[in-house]
Amino acid sequence: MVVAAPLLHQSMGKRPLRLTSRGSVPKLLFIVLLMIGPICMISLFTYREKISYFFRPLWDKPPPPFQYLPHYYAENVSIEHLCKLHGWSIRSQPRRLFDGIIFNNEVDLLEIRWRELNPYVTKFVILESNTTFTGIPKPLFFSLNRARYAFAEGKIVHGVYSGRSSSVGLDKDPFVRESEQRKAINGLLCYAGISNDDLLIMSDADEIPSRHTMRLLQWCDGVPPILHLELKNYMYSFEFPVDYSSWRASVHIYGPGTLYRHSRQTNFILSDAGWHCSFCFRHLHEIVFKMTAYSHADRVKRLEFLNPSRIQKLICRGDDLFDMLPEEYTFKELIKKMGSIPRSASAVHLPAYLIENADRFKFLLPGGCLRE
Taking residues 52-67, what's their average pLDDT?
A: 83
Residue at 145: amino acid letter: N
With residues binned 3-state (H G I as helix, E B as strand, rest as coil), the percentages for the chain, rounded to 5, are 45, 15, 40
Model pTM?
A: 0.85
Nearest to 306 by CA among 288, 289, 293: 288
* pLDDT at residue 165 is higher than 70: no
pLDDT above 90 as % of the chain: 67
Q: Are 279 and 236 in contact (CB under 8 A)?
A: yes
Q: Which residues lie across from 232 on neighbouring strands? A: 275
pLDDT surpasses 90 at 199: yes
For residue 4, what pLDDT is reported?
47
Instruction: Say if residues 133 and 180 touch (Cβ distance below 8 Å).
Output: no
Between residues 290 and 54, which one has the greater pLDDT?
Answer: 290
Residue 235: phi and psi, rounded to 5, are -125, 130
pLDDT at 168 over 60: no
Q: Is 31 exposed, middle or buried (0-12, 13-18, 19+ CB in 10 A)?
A: exposed
| Predicted local distance difference test score (pLDDT) of residue 49 | 67
Q: What is the mean pLDDT of the chain?
A: 88
Question: Looking at the predicted structure, is the pLDDT value of residue 133 above 90?
Answer: no
pLDDT at 306: 93
Taking 50 as the threshold, does the pLDDT of residue 118 lie above it? yes
Position 11 scores a pLDDT of: 45
Higher pLDDT, 346 or 28: 346
CA distance 280 to 104: 13
Whether the per-residue pLDDT at 25 is higher than 70: the answer is no
* Sheet strands (E) in 180-238: 199-202, 207-209, 220-221, 226-229, 231-235
pLDDT tens track for 220-261: 999 999 999 999 999 999 999 999 999 999 999 999 999 999
pLDDT at residue number 26: 73
The average pLDDT across 7-11 equals: 45
What pLDDT score was predicted for residue 53? 67
Domains in the chain, CATH or no CATH each? 67-281 (3.90.550)
What is Dmax (Cα atoms) for the chain? 122
Read out DSSP for 78-91? Answer: -HHHHHHHTT-EE-
Question: Is it the case that residue 19 has pLDDT exceeding 50?
Answer: no
Q: Is pLDDT at 152 greater than 60 in this prediction? A: yes
Residue 180 has pLDDT above 60, yes or no: yes
- The band of 10, judged by pLDDT with boundaries at 50, 70 and 90, is very low
DSSP secondary structure string, 277-343? EET--SSHHHHHHHHHHSTTGGG--SGGGG-HHHHHHHHHHT--TT------SSHHHHHHH-SPPPP
Share of the chain above pLDDT 70, in %: 85
The better pLDDT of the pair 219, 10 is held by 219
In order of 95, 190, 197, 239, 327, the CA distances from 157 in angstroms are 19, 11, 20, 33, 36
SS3 182: helix
**Strand 89-90 versus strand 220-221 pairing type:** antiparallel
Instruction: List the beta strands (DSSP E) in 53-210.
Output: 67-69, 89-90, 97-103, 123-129, 156-161, 199-202, 207-209
Q: What integer is the mean pLDDT of 136-141?
A: 92
> How far apart, in whole angstroms, are the C-alpha atoms of residue 127 and residue 160?
6
Confidence check: pLDDT of 78 > 60:
yes
Residue 107 contacts residue 143 (beta carbons within 8 Å): no
pLDDT of residue 1: 43
CA-CA distance, 242 to 340, in Å (whole number)? 10
User: What letter does residue 218 receive in the DSSP assignment?
Assistant: H
- For 297-356, the pLDDT digits (tens) are 778 888 899 999 999 999 999 999 988 887 887 888 888 888 899 999 999 999 999 999
Residue 264: phi, psi to the nearest 5? -70, 130
What per-residue confidence (pLDDT) applies to 7?
A: 43
For the chain, the C-alpha Rg in angstroms (whole number) is 29
Does the pLDDT value for residue 85 go beyond 80? yes
